[in-house]
Each structure stands twice: as C-alpha cells, then as structure tokens.
C-alpha cells in the first residue's frame, strides 16, 4: 500500500511479530486490537471521519461489521478474507446518509502479479519478511501440526528439488 501511495496505513493485528513486519513493510501504525479498540480510534488514526478503505483479512465474522464501522462516509470495505458462515449487518448502516461500498476480492490476476514482480525487481518491494518458514515437502505434515494449524506462521515456502 505504501508503494502505491496510500497513507496512513493502519494495521490491526494481535500478533506482535506480524505487527513488526507490517511496520517494516510500510504501515504507519500497527495496533493490537486486544489493547486498542480500532473502532473508537478509527477517526483519530485516519485523520478523517474514518478510513477511505478497510481491507478485512481476518476471516472473523464479527470484524466484518467493525470494518464497515471504521469507514468514512464514502469508504470501501474490501473483503479479502473468507468467512465460511453468514455475517449479519444492518444495510441501513451503509445507506443512511452515506455511500459506503462493500467489494469482494477474489484473486489476483496476471497483470497484478506482473506489477508486483516489477516492484520487487526494482527493489521497491521486498516480500522476504513474509516468509516465516522454508521447508521440504517431507517436513510439511509436522510443520502443519506444530505451526500452521496454530497460526504461528506467515507464509511457508516448500523447497522443491529435482
């Protein structure tokens, strides 16, 4: 987001290591949602009446509404995560005197991949901090049990050797 000129960039993340990575990759501020109420802080943190864009990446049903509530009057909730259950919210909350939008993000496309690779080749974007583990395919079951299933990883890269 920083490379694309967005500011401020506020990351809400309960895991300290992920907050640090977010800050190192351009977040203006990273908060622990268990210590700071994002909704009550959104006006202050956005320097406006809320955020222009909120990316909901947690997959936690209750945070869908929080994302909407943190938007400014014409903001967009960009829904990136997958919630396997129904979510409820009042349409009146996004229609009464406001023009909030909800958009779904399904997947990236070839052009977006190309753009990211270009930014990386020019040294403007470094994805290596997101790689928490590099393992062999044989290690995958154990790493899954010990780390992935317990959400103690960011991205796991599997080494493929000939």
Query: Which tens digit of pLDDT belongs to each residue from 124-145?
Result: 999 888 888 888 888 888 888 8
Cα 61 to Cα 65, 87, 88, 113, distances in angstroms: 8, 6, 8, 29
Q: What is the pLDDT of residues 22-77, one digit of tens each?
A: 999 999 999 998 998 888 778 777 767 889 999 998 888 888 888 888 998 889 99
Using DSSP, state whether 147 is helix, strand or coil.
Answer: helix
| pLDDT score for 93 | 65
pTM here?
A: 0.79
Q: What are the distances in angstroms from CA 15 to CA 32, 72, 92, 94?
A: 7, 26, 33, 30
């Amino acid at each position: 987001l920083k490379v694309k000129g967005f500011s401020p960039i506020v990351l809400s993340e309960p895991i300290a290591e992920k907050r640090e990575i977010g800050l190192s990759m351009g977040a203006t501020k990273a908060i622990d949602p268990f210590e700071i109420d994002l909704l009550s802080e959104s006006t202050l943190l956005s320097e406006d009446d809320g955020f222009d864009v909120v990316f909901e990446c947690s997959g936690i049903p209750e945070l869908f509404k929080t994302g909407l509530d943190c938007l400014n009057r014409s903001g967009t909730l960009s829904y990136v995560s997958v919630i396997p259950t129904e979510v409820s919210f009042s349409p009146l909350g996004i229609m009464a005197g406001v023009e909030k939008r909800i958009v779904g993000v399904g997947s990236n496309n070839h052009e977006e991949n190309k753009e990211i690779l270009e930014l990386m080749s020019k040294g403007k974007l470094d994805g290596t901090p997101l790689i928490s583990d590099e393992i062999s395919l044989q290690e995958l079951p154990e790493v899954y049990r010990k780390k992935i299933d317990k959400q103690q990883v960011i991205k796991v890269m599997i080494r493929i050797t000939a």
